[in-house]
Amino acid sequence: MRVAAEVFADQGYRSATIRDICRRAGTNVASVNYHFGGKAGLYRAVVQSGGAFTSEMAGRLAASGGAAEDRLRAYVEVFLARVLAEGPCAVHGRIMAREMIEPTEALDQLVDGFIRPEAEMLSLAVGEIVGKDFNREEIRLLCMSVAAQVVFYKHCRPVVERLFPDFRLDSAAVSVLAESIAGFSVAGLRGLRAGRLAAQAAKMKGTSGTATVTRSAERRIAKGRN
């Protein structure tokens, strides 16, 4: 039921009431219990119904082909467009955002079915950009740094709107936003790769390395971490 997806999307599973759903859908309250076995069954059906997104993502990412940086740019673009999409075709993204904050049993299947494959693609691209000198845990953190920038505008939109009332997210703004996120991320990954390479070169030579590396290394040490 489309209206059920809509209501679940912007009210959350707990706050949504089947009476509201049925009133909007023009049907009876008892019908959902008859066809789905209850509110939970309806929700499960809604969650499982949205499955045309991963293929779209995979398609665009596969089409963009070769260069890792282009794949990352495509990832940010597609991911952001889906997450910020308006209208009825965005309910799946909104439900997923809801699930992240108020997890139900549906989150597990959502993670395994949608999020994990995308994380895999992102991880490959990030790994290529930073090079072989980063281990799996480091790459994992960097992937989350990239993905975080996208979901931020989904999860913190109320705060952003209050903080910058003139900040609008029309389709043009989404484009420059995607470019900003992708540019920042690519620059960060490249910079980290360069820094790691320089640090390794310095270690091999036994010298103290370039100015840039020395600064961040000194900072790490002088920090006196507790």
**Partner in contact with 131, chosen from a copy of itself, DNA, none, beta carbon below 5 to 8 Å by kind:** none
User: Which residues lie closer than 8 Å to 165 by C-beta, 6 or more apart?
Assistant: none
Site for a copy of itself in 17-56 (CB under 8 A): none
> Which one of the spans 18-26, 88-96, 101-109, 147-155 is the region binding DNA (CB under 7 A)?
18-26
Closer of 40 and 173 to DNA (Cβ) = 40
- Please tell me whether residue 142 binds a copy of itself under the rule CB under 8 A: yes
Answer for which of 17, 28, 31, 180 binds a copy of itself (CB under 8 A) is: 180
Residue whose C-alpha is closest to residue 85's, from 58, 50, 113, 118:
50
**Residue 151: Cβ-neighbour burial (10 angstroms; 0-12, 13-18, 19+):** middle
Closer of 23 and 140 to a copy of itself (Cβ) = 140
Answer for which of 1, 4, 5, 16 binds DNA (CB under 7 A) is: 16
Compute the least distance from the CB of residue 34 to DNA, in Å.
4
Residue type at position 21: I
Site string for DNA, 97-136 (x = CB under 7 A): ----------------------------------------
By the 8 A CB rule, do 202 and 208 touch? yes
Site for a copy of itself in 77-136 (CB under 8 A): 97-103, 107-108, 111, 115-116, 119
**Residue 172: Cβ-neighbour burial (10 angstroms; 0-12, 13-18, 19+):** exposed
**DSSP-derived 3-state class of residue 43:** helix
Site for DNA in 28-47 (CB under 7 A): 28-35, 38-40
- Please tell me whether residue 222 binds a copy of itself under the rule CB under 8 A: yes
Q: Could you tell me the CA-to-CA distances from 145 to 17, 84, 139, 149, 151 in Å, in that order? A: 36, 18, 10, 7, 10
- Please tell me whether residue 219 binds a copy of itself under the rule CB under 8 A: yes
Closer of 125 and 181 to a copy of itself (Cβ) = 181
Compute the least distance from the CB of residue 18 to DNA, in Å.
4
User: H helices of 85-170, where?
Assistant: 91-101, 106-110, 116-130, 136-155, 157-163
The token duo for 226 is 């507790």
